Amino acid sequence: MRFNPNRRAALLAGGISLALATIAAPAMAQNKYGPGASDTEIKIGQTMPYSGPASAYGTIGKAEQAYFKMINDQGGINGRKINLISLDDGYSPPKAVEQVRRLVEQDEVLALFQTLGTPSNSAIQKYVNAKKVPHLLLATGATKWADPKNYPWTLGFNLSYEAEGAIYAKYLLKSKPNARIAILYQNDDYGKDVLKGVKEGLGAAGAKMIVAEATYEVSDPTVDSQILTLQGSGADTFIDITTPKFAAQAIRKAFDSGWKPLHIVNNVGASVGSVLVPAGLDKAVGLLTLSYYKDQNDPQWKDDPAMLEWRAFMGRYYRDGDPKDGSNLYAYLAAQTMVQILKQCGNDLTRENVMKQAANIKNLKLPLLLPGMALNTTPTDFFLVKQGQLGKFNGTQWQLFGEVLSTGN
Amino acid sequence: MAALNDPPPKLARPALSRGQLWGLALLFAAACVLPFLVSNYRVFQFTLALVYAIALLGLNMLTGYNGQISLGHGAFYAIGAYTAAILMDKFGVPYWLTVPVAGAVCLVAGFLFGLPALRLDGLYLALATFALGVAMPQLLKYKGVEQWTGGVQGITILKPDPPEWMAISQDRWLYFVVLLHVVVLFVIGWNLLRGRIGRAMVAIRDQPVAAQAMGVNTAMVKSLTFGVSAMYTGIAGALGAIVIQFVAPDSFTIFLSITLVVGIVIGGLASISGAIYGAIFIQFIPNIADQISKAAPWAIYGVFLIVFMVVMPTGVAGFVRIARGRLQRWSGR
């Protein structure tokens, strides 16, 4: 990261005011509570697809409840226990609206946390902003969750799809400025978001580096013909914006057809177990991808202290969960971030302050993030995760290389 | 079949007995008072139940009265919802005007779908409509219509405000808007079903050959029933979209169609009041199931379904009818 004197000053000022606040707090001892908060409890809510087409993600909600149970067993946050009310929305937007209204109007939660899915969150975004309920750390990668001007109460969690695309573009501009790029993307909001990021990252001058684009529908049986078309364009670099099934097909076809470009596969389709093994590990050697947190299936983190801590948590508090499923690690990171926000709130647990603290996360280095990465937000920048690191597949694991890359300045 | 057990219809029988009229008046009064007794969130839930009641009445005309099984009525619900959302979002049409338009669009769509469906009977028709229901979410994502439908992102619509002279919350206002539609549509449905057309519908269901011999235009009645049924469901879809303030392809999966079928069977086939009982079931039972078990809410839901079917094989409406009959006999003694 480049040195930024303003940021340092801000940090210093923040640090001083924080220190002052800690000194002043016991003297004032004035506890301020919004809905859902009291001397003993902080009530937050979420909707999760425990049933329906996306129920595989339901484990995120269960892991988060387990994490808060661990925090509560350790004494809670400033003596207050976290009570996460997690309701099933079946990945159906109307159901999500109903359940969120229940959380806000009947259960009166202080904030919403990790509501999952782009359609469900789209359905509730206007409502929660009208009600001024903090809508925090959404479990979706869409770029629209960082729009503080129009939706000041919504702040997402994931590295946005657009940011990921922009990072690939910046990497190519720097390391392969004469690349002739071919792009394959899934024809929906996710694919288009990544594509938009790539194009914006390349800029007007770099736009002519793209020599071919192809799309596929989720319902397509294969992407073989798209790969052959892209190969025919004479491209030497391939940005592969696909979900697991299609990523595996693309990797195999790009290798078998003799194309063998510099192949960048997006993070969604970069799982060793569900993509690279079916594609053939030998065919995946040399692939690039971007990640921002440690992969529990990657042998290099086997004895990492943070990974051991996470495994201990899984063994003790969430024994039903699959320790091979990355969603459980993701949930742990999200829950840690939420705890940080609540800690920052101190004894002022109003909705306004929760939102203010969520928009003032400073250099939060969670140990399960890749080394050198930190989470940051400001009142005008709601992109929580802005960094990632490239990895190259060496036949058995993703080998991280280069420095931590970021989207912005 | 129920029709065989019914007493033969007398000519010019009174529309409603005095007692039934009083009962309905009481019910209406209760429905008007209800939103002022509960929180906005509950009002919202009851509003949704009323919306489902309209959709169920529509499906019941087709399946209960006319014997045509539809596993794809969620598609008409979706068409109604999208018609309302697009009119409001892209053309600035006031919300109350979008509802009849959505109904008209679905009337035509249902009638047109009903024409080829004439060749199909029973399970074959069920499969054809199932195909419609399965296809609908993907059709809504189609690139060519994306500028209207918003693709996978869907459309967010603004919640209508009550008129200025009325000092009630938006949720209560919407409840009354939907209640008005319920009353009007149920009165129309009741008139339709107890008259000549209703008898023709039932006759086609029970004895198609005899009905034709009696001079009933089977093809016309069946297609029209399909159209009117789709219209009711489409109106429900439009009202549902306004209440939820959001439409997206994922809102109208095949599960919605199945839920509607569950609603009419639980409520009572070929029964007008059954639509209300069914609506209450499909709105509230999943929530209760979710509260009982997070791990397997649908298993609990399944248990509820089985219990209802075993205890009330003719639906809640049938159960109520039998109970009332026993009560009258007992009190008459």
Residue pair A92/A123 in contact (Cβ under 8 Å)? The answer is: no
Distances (CA, A) of A172 to A242, A261, A403, B121: 19, 13, 14, 60
Question: Is the per-residue pLDDT at B1 higher than 70?
Answer: no
Q: Residue B269: which pLDDT band, with cuts at 50, 70 and 90?
A: very high
| pLDDT for res B295 | 75
Determine what percent of chain A is predicted with pLDDT higher than 70. 92
| pLDDT for res B59 | 97
| pLDDT for res B15 | 67
| pLDDT for res B227 | 96
In order, the DSSP letters of A146-207 are --TTT-TTEEE-SPPHHHHHHHHHHHHHHH-TT--EEEEEESSHHHHHHHHHHHHHHHHHHG
Q: What angle, 0 to 180 degrees and rounded to 10, lies between the N-to-C axes of helices B297-311 and B254-267?
A: 30
Which residue, B233, B171, B236, B263, is CA-closest to A97?
A: B171
A394 interfacial to chain B (CB closer than 8 Å): no
**Is A189's CB within 8 Å of B153's CB?**
yes
A286 Cβ neighbours under 8 A, 6+ residues apart: A262, A263, A392, A393
Determine what percent of chain B is predicted with pLDDT higher than 90. 69
Euclidean distance between CA atoms B67 and B198, whole angstroms: 12
**Is B298's CB within 8 Å of A188's CB?**
no
Question: A111, exposed or middle or buried, with CB in 10 Å at 0-12, 13-18, 19+?
Answer: buried
Range A66-77 average pLDDT: 96
Residues in B closer than 8 angstroms to A127, CB to CB, are 245
A93 interfacial to chain B (CB closer than 8 Å): yes
ipTM above 0.95, yes or no: no
Q: How far is A324 from chain B (nearest CA, A)?
A: 20
pLDDT in tens, A253-262: 999 999 989 9
* Residue type at B125 in one-letter notation: L
Q: How far is B127 from chain A (nearest CA, A)?
A: 21
Residues in A closer than 8 angstroms to B151, CB to CB, are 188-189
Q: Which residue of A has its CA nearest to B255?
A: A52
**Is A88's CB within 8 Å of B248's CB?**
no
Question: A200, exposed or middle or buried, with CB in 10 Å at 0-12, 13-18, 19+?
Answer: middle
Instruction: Output the six-digit token pair for A6.
Output: 């303003």
pLDDT in tens, B216-257: 999 999 999 999 999 999 999 999 999 999 999 888 989 999
pLDDT in tens, A136-179: 999 998 888 999 999 999 999 999 999 999 999 999 999 999 99
| pLDDT for res B4 | 46
Q: Output b/e per residue, B71-80; b: 16+ Cβ within 10 A.
A: bbbbbbbbbb
Q: Which residue of B has its CA nearest to A218?
A: B138
Question: Which residues 166-195 in chain A show a CB within 8 A of chain B?
Answer: 187-189
Q: Is B121 helix (H, G, I), strand (E, B) or coil?
A: coil
Pick A122's closest partner by Cβ from B48, B154, B294.
B154
Determine what percent of chain B is predicted with pLDDT higher than 70. 95
| pLDDT for res B61 | 95
Phi-psi region of B70 (alpha: psi -120 to 50; beta: other; left: phi over 0): beta
Q: Residue B277: which pLDDT band, with cuts at 50, 70 and 90?
A: very high
Q: Is A107 helix (H, G, I), strand (E, B) or coil?
A: coil
A31-159+303-378 fold: Rossmann fold (3.40.50)
Range A99-123 average pLDDT: 93
Range A121-126 average pLDDT: 92
Distances (CA, A) of B288 to B47, B303, B313: 18, 12, 22
Question: Is the per-residue pLDDT at A5 higher than 70?
Answer: no
| pLDDT for res A31 | 87
Pick B41's closest partner by Cβ from A53, A101, A125.
A101
Q: Considering the domain A162-291+390-406 in this protein, what is its CATH number?
A: 3.40.50.2300
| pLDDT for res A17 | 53
Q: Is B158 helix (H, G, I), strand (E, B) or coil?
A: coil
pLDDT in tens, B308-324: 999 999 999 999 999 98
Euclidean distance between CA atoms B313 and B316, whole angstroms: 8
Specify the DSSP class assigned to residue A44. Answer: E
Q: How far is B41 from chain A (nearest CA, A)?
A: 6
Distance of CA A148 to the CA centre of its chain: 18
- B288, B294, B298, best to mutate vs chain A, most A CBs in 10 Å: B294
| pLDDT for res A14 | 52
